[in-house]
Structure 1
C-alpha cells in the first residue's frame, strides 16, 4: 500500500473520530474543568490550539487569544491592484491532514496550486531534472510515513511532554538523528551524491528555509516535500483558517501585546494551594491584566519576536531561548520577467515555469522566484504568460536593489516588500529544544519550530499541547509519553 493510499485510510479514521473528549466526559469531570485559558499568539498554532482546547475542555471554558498584530501571523497576504497574494505560508501539502480537517470542518473552499519547477544556476535553467527523482521521493516518503503516525496517536488521545519525546515516539532513535545531523550528512550516508545534493537538494532547501543542505535533516525533509505534486491553498488566503477557527471556537480575540506572565497561588477546594497565572497586557486603553488557569504561549520566545517576561517562577523562565530566527525578505513584483536573464530563448508565451529555485551561488540575489496567482481566482482566470505583466514572488536574504530588478525584469509596475523573521536558523550544531512545559499549567507550543517549521507542524503542536494540558489537568499520566504507542495501536487496529 502506497504512502498516499495509507494517508487516506488515516484520514478516514481521523475525520470520523474527530470529536472532543468532553463529549464523553462525566458530569463530575465537567465540574472540574478550568474556567479560563489564555493563548498568546493568533497564528495557525494559536488558533489551532483554541480549536483543540475547546474540543478537550468543552463549551463552558472561556478561551482568550491575545494577538497584537493581524490574526494569521506568518500566514499573510498583500493586496495588489484589488487582488490578494500570499506573502507567508502559501502552499499546503496533500498529506497535511490537520489542515485538511480544518478546511472541511470550517466549510472553506480550496484550489490546487499547479507547479512547473526549474533550477537556476545563474546562467541557465534546468527543467524538472532531479526535482521529481523517484529515489528522493521514496527517501522523503520514508520519513513522512513515520510522521503520519502522529495522527493516529493524537486521535487516540496520546500526547508528549517534549519535542524529543514526540519525535522519538514517531520513529525512535533514528528520528532523533534527523534533528542532530545535517541533511547533507544523512543523504550522503544514504547514498546520494554530492552533485545531486548541490544541484537539486540545496535549491529546494534554499526555497523553503533560506539555507543550504547544512540545515538539520528533518527540516530538510520538509523542504524536499515542496517538490511533491498536489499542493493546494485556501481560497481567499490561508490566513482565513485562523480567523475562522477563532469564530468557530467562540474564542475571544484580545488585540493587545502581552508583556508579563506571573505565577500566583490561591487556595483550592481540597485545602491546598494551587497555581494560576496573571497575564499583563497592553492594548489601546493601556495596560491591564487577567487571571487564567492555563496559559499557552503560541508566539516565539526569541529575541526580536517577543518581549514577554515571566515573574515569580522558580526556576526562572527565560524571556528568550537560545538560537535566532532566520531573516527573510519576501518581494512581490508586478512586471514582465526578462527570460534572457534566465538563459532561455523560449517564446515568452510558451514559458510556463511557476517556481524557479536557485543553487548556492553568491552572484544570485535571490533564493527563489515564483509566478503567483491571486488567493481568490476570478471566474475564467488563467495564469498570464511571461509575455504579459504579472505578479512574481522572490524570497531573498536581502532586499532587492533597483539595479537587480532591472536585470531580472524587462519592466515592472510596482514592488511590494515584506521583511520577516520567518523561521529558526537550523544549525548543524542545534541548540537544545525549548520545552513544551514551562510550568505546571504553562505551555510553549512554538517549541516545535526547532524541529521544523510549517503550518502542519504548528497544528500538530497545537493538538499535542491541548492534549497535554487536558491530561495534566486531570492527572491522566498514562496518556503522556507512552513509549510503545506504535506497536500498541497497530495491534488495536
Structure 2
C-alpha cells in the first residue's frame, strides 16, 4: 500500500480497488470512520474507453467521445456494451456466471463463527468452501470447460488477468476468477487512499511497532520463540506470526520450516506525467488513444497496460503503466512524445500462479509459528489476506488459549447478513 506523488497529485501505486463484497474491508472502513467512494475513472467507469493492443494495432476499441454530459456518456456506455456483446456474444454471460459462482463460494468465509470451522491448512479451507478444485487446473481450462469462446479468452480475459495479476490465462482457475471479479461493477476505494485502513487498524491496536527493522531469524527454544533482528536486537514471544511472503526474504528458521518453493510475480508500476505518442500506436492524435490500453499475451510486448489517471489539460496527463520488466528511459521516450515526470516502483506483488497449486501450511512448525501468506497461492488480494489472517487469529485462539478465553475473546468479525458487527470468533 504505497502512494506516489506526481503532478501535484497523490496516487496509490497498487491495491487501489476493492470489490463490493469485500466485507472485511467494508467493516474496517466503517470501524475507522473512513469515507468510501468509487475508484478513479481509469479503473471503474463505463464511460472510460478501452483498447486491446496486440503490439501492432488495436484489435478492438470501444467508442470514445469527449463529452461531460451525463446523457451523452450514458449513450456511449450503452453503445459500447452492445459492441462488446456483439464481439463476444453469450460467452460474456457464461463468464459472469462463473465469477458469480466463485464469489458465492467465497462468501462462506463470512458465515458466523459457530458455522465456520477453524482451518489448519489452506487445502482444508478451500475444500470446505468448494474452491479447491479451481486451484487444480488453469483458468483457460476452466473457461474452455464452460464453453467460453476462444476469442473472449484470448482477448478480454487475457487483458484482465494481465492487468490484475500481470500473468496469462495459464494462472490457476481460482486466481483467475478473483482477477475477473476485480474487473466488474460496483468497485470502491477509500477516499484519500486504501492505505488508511492498514494505518488506522494499526493505530487503533495495542501494538508496539519496530519500523525499518527486519527479522533475520526465528528460533523455537522449547517454551518460547527468539526473534533476532537486523539491528542486533532480540525479542522473545510465545506465539510468532509471519505476515509477509517468505519467497524473497532471508529469515532463518530453527528448526527449519518446510514450505513449497514459490516465485513471486513482479509488477513494475511506472507513473508518467506527460503525453503519449500517437505514432507509437499507429494513430494520428492523442485523442484517438483509448484511456485504458490493455494488451494480448505476447512476450515481445513491453507493457501489460497503460491507463489514464488524471488529465490536467490536452497536453498534460498522468498515466500509470504496468509491465513485467522495468521500463527503460529509451522505451518510455518511444511511447511518450513528452515526459515531465517519471516515477517507478517494483512490486513483488503476488505469487506466480500455476496449476495445480501447492500450499504452505498455516502452522510452520507444529507449535505456534504461523504463516498468514500461505493463502496467497490461492489468490492474492487485500480481502483474501484479511480472510486468511482472521483464520490464523482463530487458529491461535483455539490452539493456545483455553476454551474460556476463546469464548470471551473480543476480536471482531463481520457477517454480511448481520446489521451490526459482532465480537466473537
| TM score, norm. by length of structure 1 | 0.70
**Pairing of 1:146-165 with structure 2 (within 5 A):** 146-154=105-113, 158-165=117-124
Cα distance in 2 between the residues matched to 1:251 and 1:473: 19
SS in 1 for 2:307: strand
**Pairing of 1:17-416 with structure 2 (within 5 A):** 75-113=1-39, 114=41, 115=45, 116=48, 117-122=50-55, 123-124=57-58, 125-127=60-62, 129=84, 133-154=92-113, 158-171=117-130, 175-255=131-211, 256-265=213-222, 275-282=223-230, 286-302=231-247, 305-311=248-254, 313=255, 316-318=256-258, 321-343=260-282, 348=287, 353-373=290-310, 383-384=311-312, 387-416=314-343
Assess, with a 3 A threshold, how the Cα gap between structure 1 residues 156 and 290 changes in structure 2: closer, same or farther. farther
Counterpart among 370, 373, 380 of residue 446 in structure 1: 373
Cα distance in 2 between the residues matched to 1:136 and 1:468: 35
1:82 shift after superposition: 3.4
Aligned length: 370
Q: What's the RMSD between the two structures over aligned residues?
A: 2.4
CA offsets 1:50-73 (integer angstroms, 9 cap, x no match): xxxxxxxxxxxxxxxxxxxxxxxx
CA offsets 1:352-372 (integer angstroms, 9 cap, x no match): x54322111344210011112
SS in 1 for 2:18: coil
Work out whether residues 260 and 359 of structure 2, in 8 Å CA contact, stay in contact via their aligned partners in 1: no
Work out whether residues 94 and 148 of structure 2, in 8 Å CA contact, stay in contact via their aligned partners in 1: no
Cα distance in 2 between the residues matched to 1:402 and 1:287: 40
1:280 shift after superposition: 1.5
1:86 shift after superposition: 1.3
Q: Does 1:419 align with 2:359?
A: no
1:119 shift after superposition: 2.3
Cα distance in 1 between the residues matched to 2:179 and 2:291: 17
Work out whether residues 262 and 310 of structure 1, in 8 Å CA contact, stay in contact via their aligned partners in 2: yes
CA offsets 1:102-137 (integer angstroms, 9 cap, x no match): 111111122212333442223014226269933312
SS in 1 for 2:350: strand
1:429 shift after superposition: 4.6
1:346 shift after superposition: 7.3
Matched residue, 1:30:
none
| TM score, norm. by length of structure 2 | 0.81
CA offsets 1:314-337 (integer angstroms, 9 cap, x no match): xx314x641111122110011122
1:195 shift after superposition: 2.0
Work out whether residues 240 and 369 of structure 2, in 8 Å CA contact, stay in contact via their aligned partners in 1: yes
Work out whether residues 17 and 187 of structure 2, in 8 Å CA contact, stay in contact via their aligned partners in 1: yes
Cα distance in 2 between the residues matched to 1:222 and 1:442: 28
Work out whether residues 356 and 369 of structure 1, in 8 Å CA contact, stay in contact via their aligned partners in 2: yes
SS in 1 for 2:111: helix
Cα distance in 2 between the residues matched to 1:390 and 1:223: 27
Work out whether residues 158 and 169 of structure 2, in 8 Å CA contact, stay in contact via their aligned partners in 1: yes
Cα distance in 2 between the residues matched to 1:388 and 1:226: 31
Cα distance in 2 between the residues matched to 1:363 and 1:260: 41
Work out whether residues 154 and 464 of structure 1, in 8 Å CA contact, stay in contact via their aligned partners in 2: no
Cα distance in 2 between the residues matched to 1:356 and 1:163: 36
Structure 1 unaligned spans of 5+: 1-74, 266-274, 374-382, 480-489
Assess, with a 3 A threshold, how the Cα gap between structure 1 residues 333 and 97 changes in structure 2: closer, same or farther. same
Assess, with a 3 A threshold, how the Cα gap between structure 1 residues 148 and 155 changes in structure 2: closer, same or farther. farther
CA offsets 1:446-476 (integer angstroms, 9 cap, x no match): 0011111111100111111001111112366
